[in-house]
């Protein structure tokens, strides 16, 4: 938590707050889902004027929780949606979902996601960027690439690749806020500055890693800070299970004046520092010289 990039205003499940983090129940999870989903849908239907009976397809995507009856069933029953609605429930889709060396499916939290994410991002952008950057920039990139290859010069610092300027066709960057290491690695790979990464870092700091939902907090931050102007473009960078990467380019159709989830706190963001308040107290945990002694260090070795 000390180096996670998560701040003190973020959300925590009720069972953790109540000291029951080791004994969570099914009702705890259902209560959490109901509070999030129903409140969001109530506001969505009220804002758009769309009736629940008009919905043809409903998709629920949650990383780990997969109850029976399903989450879509709970939504359909609450809003009395049509009986012929098509419902899909997706789970096990988090960025830590992958197969191990033996082919077993599961979840693994390691140091690999940032590196795997950078590799997946590179492969994805090779297909996407030629479609969104101006032809003049792509031509300049190719000339610079082959010139660098022939002369064996090092890649210019501060540029993503040999001379490629992403900002020639992209105005804003909507980076997946899956963790501080993920954000930093993407920023490094694409030569993005602190201003470009601010929305993702603030979304992580305020709301923590909310999986695929995190991208909407990033967009909400951009809107709340009045960063977006009509006609500008946004590169959305999403990362997930596999390890996979899915990117797309958005175009701002109008200046947004709507209030969103940031309305109660946007005025004091970004904070002066992202340092965790517990860092001074608990940083000693990472100090190798302060590691705890093991019992084995003091038990005499018996040679046979």
As a whole number of angstroms, the distance between CA 191 and CA 158 comes to 5
Tens of pLDDT, residues 121-132: 888 888 899 999
The larger pLDDT score, comparing residue 91 to residue 254, is at 254
First to last CA, the chain: 45
Structure tokens at 116: 């795997």
Quick one: pLDDT at residue 58? 96
As a whole number of angstroms, the distance between CA 248 and CA 90 comes to 21
Q: Which residue carries 């009976």 as its tokens?
A: 53
Are the beta carbons of 14 and 212 closer than 8 angstroms?
A: no
As a whole number of angstroms, the distance between CA 161 and CA 242 comes to 25
Beta partners for residue 89, in sequence order: 60
Answer whether residue 18 is part of any domain. Answer: yes
CA 49 to chain centre: 30
Are the beta carbons of 74 and 52 closer than 8 angstroms?
A: no
Mention every residue, 6+ apart, whose C-beta is less than 8 A from residue 223.
Answer: 256, 258, 260
Quick one: pLDDT at residue 298? 38
Average pLDDT over the chain, rounded to whole? Answer: 81
Quick one: pLDDT at residue 245? 82
User: Does position 291 have pLDDT exceeding 60, yes or no?
Assistant: no
Quick one: pLDDT at residue 84? 96
CA 290 to chain centre: 34
Answer whether residue 99 is part of any domain. Answer: yes
Q: Which of 94, 90, 119 is nearest to 108 (CA)?
A: 94
Tens of pLDDT, residues 14-72: 888 888 888 889 999 999 899 989 999 999 999 899 999 999 999 998 877 889 899 99
Are the beta carbons of 117 and 140 closer than 8 angstroms?
A: no
Give the three-class secondary structure for 296. Answer: helix
pTM of the model: 0.75
As a whole number of angstroms, the distance between CA 200 and CA 278 comes to 22
Answer whether residue 217 is part of any domain. Answer: no
User: Does position 133 have pLDDT exceeding 60, yes or no?
Assistant: yes
Beta partners for residue 262, in sequence order: none
Are the beta carbons of 241 and 108 closer than 8 angstroms?
A: no
As a whole number of angstroms, the distance between CA 210 and CA 128 comes to 26
Answer whether residue 41 is part of any domain. Answer: yes
Answer whether residue 169 is part of any domain. Answer: no
Answer whether residue 66 is part of any domain. Answer: yes
- Once rounded to an integer, what is the mean pLDDT over residues 6-19? 81
User: Does position 300 have pLDDT exceeding 60, yes or no?
Assistant: no
Give whichever of 75-84, 154-163, 186-195, 293-302 has the largest mean pLDDT.
Answer: 75-84
User: Does position 148 have pLDDT exceeding 90, yes or no?
Assistant: no
Give the three-class secondary structure for 167. Answer: helix
φ and ψ at 170, to 5 degrees?
A: -125, 130
Are the beta carbons of 237 and 245 closer than 8 angstroms?
A: yes
Structure tokens at 275: 């340092």
As a whole number of angstroms, the distance between CA 229 and CA 223 comes to 9
The larger pLDDT score, comparing residue 196 to residue 148, is at 196
User: Does position 304 have pLDDT exceeding 50, yes or no?
Assistant: no
The larger pLDDT score, comparing residue 37 to residue 290, is at 37
Alpha-helix runs per DSSP H in the chain: 14-17, 26-48, 71-78, 112-132, 135-151, 180-190, 194-207, 214-224, 279-282
Quick one: pLDDT at residue 299? 42
User: Does position 9 have pLDDT exceeding 50, yes or no?
Assistant: yes
Residue 31: give the domain boundaries: 14-107
As a whole number of angstroms, the distance between CA 105 and CA 233 comes to 38
Q: Which residue carries 């175009």 as its tokens?
A: 251
Q: How many domains does the chain have?
A: 1
The larger pLDDT score, comparing residue 163 to residue 158, is at 163
Tens of pLDDT, residues 64-118: 788 989 999 999 999 999 999 999 998 766 655 576 667 666 655 555 666 676 7
Tens of pLDDT, residues 197-250: 999 999 999 998 887 788 999 999 999 999 999 999 999 998 876 667 889 999
Answer whether residue 166 is part of any domain. Answer: no
Answer whether residue 195 is part of any domain. Answer: no
């Amino acid at each position: 938590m000390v180096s996670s990039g998560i701040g003190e205003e973020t959300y925590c499940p009720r069972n953790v707050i109540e000291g029951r983090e080791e004994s969570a129940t099914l009702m705890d999870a259902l209560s959490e889902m109901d509070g999030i989903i129903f409140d969001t849908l109530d506001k969505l239907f009220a804002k758009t004027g769309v009736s629940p009976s008009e919905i043809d397809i409903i998709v629920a995507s949650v990383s780990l929780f997969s109850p029976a009856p399903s989450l879509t069933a709970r939504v359909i029953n609450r809003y009395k949606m049509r009986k012929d609605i098509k419902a899909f429930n997706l789970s096990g889709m988090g960025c830590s979902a992958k197969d191990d060396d033996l082919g077993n499916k599961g979840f693994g939290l390691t140091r690999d996601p940032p590196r795997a994410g950078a590799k997946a991002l590179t492969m994805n952008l090779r297909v996407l960027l030629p479609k969104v950057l101006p032809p003049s920039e792509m031509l300049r990139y190719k000339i610079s690439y082959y010139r660098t290859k022939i002369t064996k010069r090092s890649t210019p610092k501060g540029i993503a690749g040999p001379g490629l300027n992403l900002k020639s066709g992209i105005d804003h960057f909507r980076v997946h806020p899956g963790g501080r290491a993920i954000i930093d690695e993407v920023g490094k790979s694409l030569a993005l500055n602190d201003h470009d990464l601010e929305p993702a870092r603030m979304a992580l700091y305020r709301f923590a890693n909310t999986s695929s939902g995190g991208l909407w907090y990033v967009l909400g931050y951009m809107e709340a800070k009045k960063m977006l102007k009509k006609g500008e473009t946004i590169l959305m960078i999403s990362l997930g299970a596999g390890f996979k990467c899915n990117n797309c380019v958005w175009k701002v159709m109008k200046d947004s004046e709507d209030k969103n989830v940031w309305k109660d706190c946007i005025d004091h963001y970004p904070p002066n520092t992202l340092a965790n308040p517990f860092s001074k107290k608990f940083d000693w945990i990472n100090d190798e010289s302060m590691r705890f002694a093991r019992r084995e260090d003091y038990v005499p070795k018996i040679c046979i």
